[in-house]
Structure 1
Amino acid sequence: MKSPVFICSLGSISALGQSPTEIWNNYKNPRHFITKHLFSETETFAAFLPKEVRNPIEAIRNENSNYRKLDDSVLFAIFSARKAIKDAGWKNEKNIGINIGSSRGATGLFEKYYKEFIETGKAATQASPSTTLGNISSWVSQDLQTVGPEFSHSVTCSTGLHAVVNAIAWMQAGFTEKFLAGGSEAALTPFTIAQMKAMKIYASEDLDFPCRALDMEKKQNSMILGEASGVLALQNKNSEEAIARISGIGYATEALKHSVSISEKGESLQKAMKMAIGDKELSEIDAVVMHAPGTLKGDLSEVNAIKAVFGENTPAMTSNKWKLGHTFAASGILNLELAVLMLQHQEFIEVPFSEISEAPARLENILVNAVGFGGNAVTILISKK
């Protein structure tokens, strides 16, 4: 990075709620926010938005007749972006870039329109425009009436952190001083759940903590999906509103041996972390908020990558997927949110059933990881303002 970039605010919604105070209190709460739901007449674990969050999103849908045709992934992003703008104090700003991506995109609408096509042989008029991935950033821009660059992308589970890296590149190239970047995912649909189960990575054991992210003794895969969105308000200059500093970014892709695999020692994660750390001493890194999806190979390869980078003096390691599920494109942003909250409160959130590490003596620099299908990884170094 040419220079640090500052986070002015972070608007998010997830199973943990929507306000920073509520989200932090729920992180402090030792219970998880995963429940059982019926998908195709089968009870399955998932982490849905609470009613208190869902209601205002439905209110957005009813604000405008055009909004009624939008997928939840778009409405989630609109809600989070409005919140990020308000909390950042950007009320009258218009020259703002927008990059909000998604792994699955308009999953709910796509499945709905495809079902109708199979049954009738005809496609609905809104089938194409309402299911394009670009819908997310385009509608956020329309809602906020911004004039900066706006685009969406999909890089599977690391999409949200890729959006942040991309936004930083645009900002430091001089295109705009401010950017909204993040990810949105509303993929809790029967077909999506069935796809994850077909890969044999989904949780099936009815345990006190069904997602066993960072339980290095688990014998089965335990990934669970959640729905969420998260949008960062980024700017080049420091300000009173800034809540944290991005002091390093890293990214890498490794050669695949299987379409969903990552190497045993997480080679792409190693490269991404080293790039993000840059010239800092390894001893300056206090913690890592890990991708840790709760799968056997995924968790182990990331732990191996951290040990390969840091040796015996590994920083404290944690994850949030045991609490709110894997939210695909939004997961990296929620990881980043956890890092920011820990820096603000100077308190480390541990995984209650994991003995992989202890709380650090200080919290000044935290690495945030995300890795996705395709062998790609992103790491962002978050530091105290």
Structure 2
Amino acid sequence: MTSPLASVVIRGWGSVSALGFSAVPTHAAATTFRPDAASGLPVAALPPTAEAALAALRQRRPAYRALDRSVLLALLATERAVEQAHWTPTDSATLAVSLGSSRGATERLETFHAEFLHHGAVPTTASPLTTLGNVASWVADSVGATGAAISHSSTCSTALQALGNAVAWLKAGLAERFLAGGTEAPLTSFSLAQMQALRIYSPHRPDEFPCRPGAGGASSFVLGEGAAVLALEAVPAAQLQPGDLLLESVGFGFEATGTKTGLTPDGQHFQQAMRQALQLADKSVSDVDLLVLHSPGTAAGDASEHAAVKLVFGADVPACTSNKWLLGHTLGASAALSLDFALHLLKNQVVPTPLPFDTWLNHRPAPRRIQRVMINAAGFGGNAASALVSVVG
């Protein structure tokens, strides 16, 4: 059994999103958003290079041609995580999978349902292709995993829930390696209509930074798609090497507000999650150099998280940033893509780009040296989670 004192090292990670396969823009594009073909709403969809890779993957195996887009995104991100980790199918370590998705097989489910309404029948594959469990099981199949294949759904904190589960299993010795993260492909007409019904969708055009975390004023939520997967390994603390990236802890919080869309003005679930993450890692607020916020651009959600950050950190509020102004809100994948962003900053020791609009996130510059980053996530139902990642000095 692995010692509870073992560290969880991030051996590799991969992602796919509106930025393609990068965590940051590779050129000075003004925006990553485009109008949805049916509704005209701004969305953060895959660029042509990533779309081509997805199409090639779909043709690689006959079984892949029927898979939902969310599963294929997870497979793309997994390939890159495994390649970076230098893991091979012949490795003897027990490998498990823990993946999350808020909506799951959105496109396949809607297609099958439309066919049922029209024809009164569905194919025999409809059920296995639309269960949430098929996300993790297909990833496990692709890498020859011999451990558990677990799928999670906790709305927009899903990916951190999946990663927290992986950390617990690794420390308990139930697996030696884990692939964990989140995936979402919600850019369908029905999903966009649901977001519009909440009256939170951005009024801004695709070419004028429609998603504006922390800007205040009218909500500027924009839907996006993507996936990110981390390759995790339990390592005795004595064997850590300088430059190793650690997933130190994942903390959780919950608040009951009487509705599934409401939240407390002071973000009690955020407060609980951030404090637990610090406690589990035996760290204080002054140890955090940067916060990657959940901040989806909604008026109430952004204000609640801002209040929670001030209450937890007090005078030690670190620099804050977000990547949703580039990726939109990818629901169950959003926290994993925030982690992808944080790991890029840690590994390359680069300061995050200021957001190109008026937002309180630009008020405190990031330090030149980033040692530890906290990532926040929250979703419908009162679920919140916070993760701490750091680099070994």
Tell me the TM-score range normalised by the shorter chain.
Answer: over 0.9
AA in 1 matched with 2:87? W
Shift of the alpha carbon at 1:3?
Answer: 4.2
Q: 1:360 aligns with which of 346, 350, 366?
A: 366
Q: Name the residue aligned to 1:184.
A: 183
Q: Name the residue aligned to 1:156.
A: 155
SS at match of 2:199: coil
> Does structure 1 residue 79 correspond to structure 2 residue 76?
yes
Residues of 2 paired with 1:240 and 1:117: CA distance?
A: 56
Give the TM-score taking structure 2 as reference length.
0.92
Residues of 2 paired with 1:179 and 1:61: CA distance?
A: 24
Q: Name the residue aligned to 1:223.
A: 221
Residues of 1 paired with 2:166 and 2:242: CA distance?
A: 19
Residues of 2 paired with 1:195 and 1:342: CA distance?
A: 34
SS at match of 1:38: coil
Q: Residue deviations 1:214-266, cap 9 Å, x none?
A: 113xx211100111011000011166697511222210111123211221011
Contact 1:102/1:160 (<8 A) preserved: yes
Q: Name the residue aligned to 1:331.
A: 334
Unaligned runs of at least 5 residues, structure 2: none
Contact 1:88/1:241 (<8 A) preserved: no
Q: Name the residue aligned to 1:68.
A: 65
SS at match of 1:24: coil
Percent sequence identity is: 40
SS at match of 1:223: coil
Contact 1:213/1:319 (<8 A) preserved: yes
Q: 2:320 aligns with which of 317, 320, 327?
A: 317
Q: Name the residue aligned to 1:235.
A: 233
After the TM superposition, which of the residue ranges 73-82 and 203-212 deviates more from structure 2?
Answer: 203-212
Q: Residue deviations 1:78-132, cap 9 Å, x none?
A: 1111211111011133620101111000000100010011111112222111111
SS at match of 1:115: helix
Say if 1:241 and 1:228 are closer, same or farther in 2 by CA, change over 3 A.
farther
Residues of 1 paired with 2:72 and 2:29: CA distance?
A: 30
Q: Residue deviations 1:174-210, cap 9 Å, x none?
A: 1111000011111100000000000101112327211
Q: Residue deviations 1:1-45, cap 9 Å, x none?
A: 744311111111011111xxx43344x847331111223xx2111
CA RMSD between the two structures: 1.8
Contact 1:201/1:221 (<8 A) preserved: yes
After superposition, residues 85-100 of structure 1 pair within 5 angstroms as 85-91=82-88, 92-93=90-91, 95-100=94-99
After superposition, residues 1-385 of structure 1 pair within 5 angstroms as 2-18=5-21, 22-26=22-26, 29=28, 31-39=30-38, 42-91=39-88, 92-93=90-91, 95-206=94-205, 208-216=208-216, 219-237=217-235, 243-278=244-279, 279-349=282-352, 350-353=354-357, 354-356=359-361, 357-361=363-367, 362-385=369-392
Contact 1:290/1:317 (<8 A) preserved: yes
Contact 1:8/1:241 (<8 A) preserved: no
SS at match of 1:152: strand
Q: Residue deviations 1:140-183, cap 9 Å, x none?
A: 11122221111111111111111100001111111111000011
Contact 1:4/1:248 (<8 A) preserved: no
How many equivalent pairs are there?
Answer: 377
Shift of the alpha carbon at 1:310?
Answer: 1.0
